[in-house]
Amino acid sequence: MASVKAKKKCCRDQPRCKVCPVVLKRLADAGLLEREGRRKYSFDAKPPKSAVAAARA
């Protein structure tokens, strides 16, 4: 099981970066990541590229 840590603050760039807290929350709401703590997320399999692109847009 892999994990990723979100940045402290969102920079609001377009498209958002991959470790932005907003992107990780959107992926967690979609059921692709599990939230472990305030800024830590874990996953069994990497989310599909199309889902990550949609969350970053």
Quick one: which of 9, 13, 29, 8 has its CA closest to 51?
Answer: 29
Per-residue model confidence as pLDDT tens digits over 17-55? 999 999 999 999 999 999 999 999 999 999 999 999 999
- pLDDT grade for 4, boundaries at 50, 70 and 90: very high
What's the confidence (pLDDT) of residue 23? 97
Structural tokens at position 37: 């703590």
Supply the range of the domain harboring residue 23: 2-56
What's the confidence (pLDDT) of residue 52? 97
Count: domains in the chain: 1
Dihedral of CA atoms 36, 15, 56, 44 in degrees, nearest 10, equals -60
Tokens 């997320």 correspond to 41
Name beta bridge partners: 19: none
Largest Cα–Cα distance in the chain?
29
Q: Is the pTM of this model over 0.85?
A: yes
pLDDT exceeds cutoff 90 at 1: no
